[in-house]
Structure 1
Amino acid sequence: MDNQPTPDPTMTRIGEAVQVGRSGQKALARDALTALWDEVGPTGDAFHRCTLAHYLADLQDTTEAELSWDERALAAVSDLTDERAQRYLSSLQVQAFLPSLYLNLADCHRRLGNPAQAREHLARASEHLVHLSDDPYGEAIRAAIREFAADDPTDARR
């Protein structure tokens, strides 16, 4: 099996909307992804829900809204199997999604002034680092977790 994404019309639409957001049209991207979320529905394909919620979190105007979408992404991943994820891309492992998802939650809680919850989610992110590949993505997540931990002024280990 090669490691090229399998055609998936919903993932194509998600990717197109993400590119719109990266071009600076945040509201337009958010509207497109929200429409897709409504199409998929809260019990639809877990891979689509996780991906949509993950990207929608980054397009929110408030940290509270971002946290809500990050929580939806984490909830969706609990319904996701490796088999489903690998129908899209053969190398995907659901457990490897967790460090990033927990890091996003930690970041939101830190910005909301919830240091205990931020540390709890950071610890969960760190616990799941073993699932990351030794590739640029894995190293980027590891570095972000190290940076987050180093920036924590409430960390008693300092």
Structure 2
Amino acid sequence: MAGDDGKCAVVEQRPEAEPEDGVPTRLGQAIMLHRAGDREEARNRLAALWQELGPRGDAFHRCALAHYLAGTQDDLRDALDWDLRALAAAEGFVTERPARARPAAAPAGGAPAGGAGPRHPLAALRAFFPALHLNLAADYAGLDRPADAHAQLRRARASVRALADGEHRRRLTAAILRLELRIEGAPGASR
């Protein structure tokens, strides 16, 4: 769901069976801490989980972790670094096309079209790309890098077109437009 700052968050869908490593549970606990206002503890737990996974950890988990770590940063440059890591992990995952499916986080808006239940992470990550690009655009806009922000908005717009029509797509499309208006300094655009 897009916030006033143009950033998007992903709502985790509960898998039927928890993976053995417990990463989704621990990620969810840290997210709940952040949403409850304990930004520092959430950041500490997410950073510890990031270190535990390491550079060869599951790319889907790394993408989700980096995405949420970006949201816990106090410095916009640090948020940008984490958002770039999230995008790199997602792009690497899509490129590698893993052989086995695992339960996945669903984009904001709940379950995938066609009913509840886990989805293959590849499909979830493809649905996640518009939010990743939107977050990067918001970072660049906040760092007064409008050319980079516009480039990410173009990528967000292109990837949102691949989503099925629905509430998630409409929210992302509206968030893209709001951020574009904010970057352009349009009257009435929230800052």
TM-score (structure 1 length as normaliser):
0.88
Q: How many equivalent residue pairs?
A: 153
1:124 and 2:155 matched: yes
What's the CA shift for 1:85? 9.1
Q: Secondary structure at the match of 2:57?
A: coil
Q: Distance in 1 between matches of 2:86 and 2:44?
A: 18
CA distance in 2, matches of 1:40, 1:144: 32
Indicate whether 1:77 and 2:90 are aligned.
Answer: yes
Q: Percent identity at matched positions? A: 39
TM-aligned CA deviation for residue 86 of structure 1: 5.0
User: Quick one: which amino acid aligns to residue 119 of structure 2?
Assistant: S
Aligned match of 2:136? 105
Q: Which residue of 2 aligns with 1:56?
A: 69
Deviates more, 1:84-93 or 1:6-15: 84-93
The structure with the largest helix share of the pair is: 1
Give 2:79's aligned amino acid.
Answer: E
Superposition deviation, residue 25 in structure 1: 0.4
Aligned-residue Cα RMSD (Å) equals 2.2
CA contact (8 A) 1:57 1:68 kept: yes
Q: 1:83 to 1:143 in 2, by over 3 A?
A: farther
2:102 alignment partner in structure 1: 87
Greater mean alpha carbon deviation, residues 134-143 or residues 37-46: 134-143
1:70-91 per-position Cα deviation (integer Å, ceiling 9, x unaligned): 0000000012247679521216
Corresponding position: 1:134 with 2:168: no
Deviation sequence 1:83-125 (CA, Å, 0-9, x none): 6795212165122111110111110001101010000011111
Question: Which residue of 43, 55, 67 corresponds with 1:42?
Answer: 55
- 1:48 CA displacement: 0.5
3-state SS in 2 of match to 1:42:
coil
2:34 corresponding residue in structure 1: 21
The runs of at least 4 aligned residues of structure 1 exceeding 3 Å deviation read 81-86
1:115 to 134, 137, 146: 146
Question: How far has the Cα of 1:67 moved from its partner?
Answer: 0.1
1:154 Cα deviation (Å)? 6.9
Counterparts of 1:4 and 1:116, CA distance in 2: 38
Work out whether residues 102 and 120 of structure 2, in 8 Å CA contact, stay in contact via their aligned partners in 1: no
Task: Give 5+ residue unaligned stretches, structure 1.
Answer: none
